[in-house]
Chains A and B, each alone.
Chain A
Amino acid sequence: MFNTDTLNALRRLLLAMADDHLIIGHRNSEWTGLGPILEEDIAFSSIAQDKIGHALGLYSILYEQLGEADPDTLAFMRNETDFTSCQLVEYPIGEYDFSLVRHLLFDVAALIRFEDASHSAYDPLAKLARKVKGEIKYHVFHASTFVKQLGQGSEESKARMQSALNQNMALALGMFESFEGEALLVQQGIYKGEAAIRTAWLGEVGAIVEEAGLKMPDAEKLEPIYGGRKGFHTEYLQPLLDEMTEVFRIDPAAEW
């Protein structure tokens, strides 16, 4: 029912979303065992697991409906330059403040994407979105509760939240890098489009940041860090892929 150009744009959209979720999921799993308190350790790991699940759902659509390779091959056998994840997700976990603010900025965008996708004219995406958007709503609840808590906490926690926010902002704006054929998808009601998602995101993040007593950096004055959607990455992605695929590559045909 969709023409070739539309299907190719759809592949780009799904791959970018899947790669974002896979990489942030893997990154956040690095907090397992190191979380600031036991309950948060469990929560962060559980959220990371959800992200890998969402990546699997998206890769599965590419495999089952759009003729791409199977999810394991897409996740574990591609080269660094084939990944179209934004650069925000590949940065090392840093201190907890950096990871927490990144988690907020990423998940507010993910929720907007998936809520919109639940009405998508592309049915497989709409079905997946309806299934998982509740999980992402919780991820946003988790991140915003923590950010508000720390933003209104001690002088140190407030300063750390503000500096993590400043540090993350240009990278986070890179989530909304446009891609070839995007307009076709918007025209046909398949998805909202990066510019519209960015606008909604700025509003929602701004409200949370304000409630946390922090100052929202001026997005208009920042140069978004683009490149990820075209396969340009920082020096941090390749080592992540090496680690993530280490076991898989020993025997890609192994039965688990």
Chain B
Amino acid sequence: MNIQSLDPRITRLGIDAEEKNPDQTLQREEHWETYQVFHQKKRGEKHSSVGVVHAPNAEMALLFAKEQYARRGETVNLWIVNTRDVLAMNYDDYDVFSTTPEKMYRDPAGYKVNDKIAAYKKAQLDV
């Protein structure tokens, strides 16, 4: 006797109700890939990563993304990228960034020339 659920999606899986550890192997069509969704709010602005959808291909992913991530608020465009195509760093290598916060000289706010610019601007106003 298979599990008869009020949710037809569960019933359709044909899981034996008696079996202790049902075979959970998914077929290719059932095991979809994930796609990263990038949302653009206004033309000219950057596309921002907003989340993920499961889909059998990019076109379907775009369709699902429209509902999941563009159902409310403003949108002018969406991008879809197969998660497989994202080249990511390894978290084990996070130590390459560990000293970055100390490098204040790379922070434009730390430039000494700022004082000179401020003085020049003041001088211009005084003229």
Binding site for A on B (CB under 8 A): 7-9, 29, 53-57, 59-60, 63-64, 66-68, 71
Contacts and interface: CB of A to CB of B under 8 A. Distances in A.
Interface string A142-167: 10011001000110000000000000
Contact of B63 (A34, A36, A43): A43
B63 A142 contact: yes
B9 A39 contact: no
Contacts of A250: none
A149 B8 CA distance: 22
Given A34-B8, A145-B63, A39 B68 contact: yes
A46 interface: yes
Given A34-B8, A36-B9, A42 B63 contact: no
A149 B62 CA distance: 13
A44 to B, nearest CB: 9
B8 A39 contact: no
A218 to B, nearest CB: 29
Contacts of B63: 43, 141-142, 145-146
A43 B64 contact: yes
A73 B92 CA distance: 65
Contacts of B7: 34
A149 B63 CA distance: 12
A254 B63 CA distance: 38
A179 interface: no
A73 B53 CA distance: 41
Contacts of B8: 34
11 contacts: A34-B7, A39-B54, A39-B55, A39-B68, A138-B66, A145-B59, A145-B60, A146-B63, A149-B59, A149-B60, A153-B29
A186 B60 CA distance: 39
A37 interface: yes
A42 B67 CA distance: 7
A46 B59 CA distance: 19
A39 B59 contact: no
A39 B64 contact: yes
Nearest to A42: B67
Contacts of A146: 63
Contacts of B54: 39
Nearest to B63: A145
A37 B67 contact: no
B9 to A, nearest CB: 7
Given A34-B7, A141-B63, 18 more contacts: A34-B8, A37-B9, A39-B54, A39-B67, A39-B68, A40-B64, A42-B68, A42-B71, A43-B63, A43-B64, A43-B67, A46-B71, A138-B66, A146-B63, A149-B56, A149-B57, A149-B59, A154-B29
Question: Closest 4 CB pairs between A and B?
Answer: A39-B64, A43-B67, A145-B63, A42-B67
Nearest to A35: B9
The interface centre, meaning the residue of A37, A39, A142, A149 with most chain B CB atoms within 10 A of its CB, is A39
B112 to A, nearest CB: 54
B12 to A, nearest CB: 9
B62 to A, nearest CB: 8
A138 B67 CA distance: 10
Contacts of A142: 63
Contacts of A34: 7-8
Contacts of A145: 59-60, 63
Contacts of A36: 9
Contacts of A138: 66
